[in-house]
Amino acid sequence: MALQTLEAFFEEVRNSCDEHARRKGYLNGDRNVLGEIMEMSGMEGPHACGEVITKVLEYNRGPRRLLAVKIAGWAWRMWLAAGKD
């Protein structure tokens, strides 16, 4: 059984975000072009919030680790959009 550490969780979230962006064609090299467009348009935070809500509802119907990872990935995008306090 793999270690269940915060570092392992972060690695799973990182891999999920990177692979999703790659699979969807959002990357240009290592740049997440869609993420940059969402940020410039001001839609990054609202879109990420909607994704979190959707994934939480799905998680509540049937908890799965993959959904927790996706929620964390979208929470990261919300964190980015929030700027510095």
6-37: buried (b, 16+ CB within 10 Å) or exposed (e) per residue?
eeeeeebbeeebeeebeeeebeeeeebeebee
- How is residue 62 annotated by DSSP? S
Predicted TM-score of the model (pTM): 0.84
Strand 31-32, strand 27-28: pairing: antiparallel
Q: How far apart are CA 47 and CA 43, in angstroms?
A: 6
pLDDT digits 0-9 by tens, 28-48:
888 888 888 888 898 889 999
What mean pLDDT comes out for the span 62-69? 96
3-state secondary structure of 32: strand
